[in-house]
Amino acid sequence: DTTAVKPPKISLFAAAWADGVAVLAVVTAAVFVLKLSGHHDIGPAVPWAAGLAVAWWIAAASSLVTVRQGTPGMLLAGVHFSDSVAPARVWSVVVVAAISTLLLGLPGLLGVDRSPLAAAGGRPLETVPAD
C-alpha cells in the first residue's frame, strides 16, 4: 500500500525536539573529546562546540532535505516531505525547522495541514513509509 499517511501532531512536535537533540549530541561529543584530550577548563570551549554543532546541523539538514526530503529530526520522527523540495526552498525549510526547534516544537501543534514546514517546503508532509 503506497497511500500517504498524514503524521500526527506529536510527530511534528517530536521532529523539532529530535533536531534539538541532534545539535546537543554534537555539542556533547565535542566537549567529551576535549575532556578526553586532557583539557580541564572546557567552559570557554562550549560556545565553540555549540557553533560547531549548529554548523553541522545546517549542513546535515540541507543535505538531507535535498536527498531524503527531511531534516535529521524529521527523519528520526518518521516524517518527510511527500516529494523532493525545490532547491530554492531548501534554505527556508532549514530556517523554519531551526525556528521550530528554538520554539520547542510548538509550531508542530498547528498540525500537518497548517505546518510551517510544509509551507516552507512547498510540499505536504507525510509519514515515512515502513519497508
pTM higher than the cut 0.75: yes
Contact 115, 67 (CB under 8 A): no
Contact 85, 69 (CB under 8 A): yes
Q: pLDDT grade, residue 94 (50/70/90)?
A: very high
For residues 90-104, give the mean pLDDT.
98
Grid cell listed for 26: 554534537
pLDDT tens-digit readout, 76-90: 999 999 999 999 999
Name which of 18, 10, 12, 6 is nearest 116 in CA terms. 12
Counting beta carbons within 10 angstroms of the beta carbon of residue 70, is it exposed (0 to 12), middle (13 to 18) or buried (19 or more)?
buried
Q: Which residues pair with residue 81 across a beta bridge? A: 125
Fill in the DSSP letter of residue 127: E
For residues 89-112, give the mean pLDDT.
96
* pLDDT score recorded for residue 99: 98
**Is residue 73 classed as helix, strand or coil in its secondary structure?**
helix
With the CA atoms of 117, 119, 124 and 128 taken in that order, what torsion angle do they form, in degrees rounded to the nearest 10?
-10
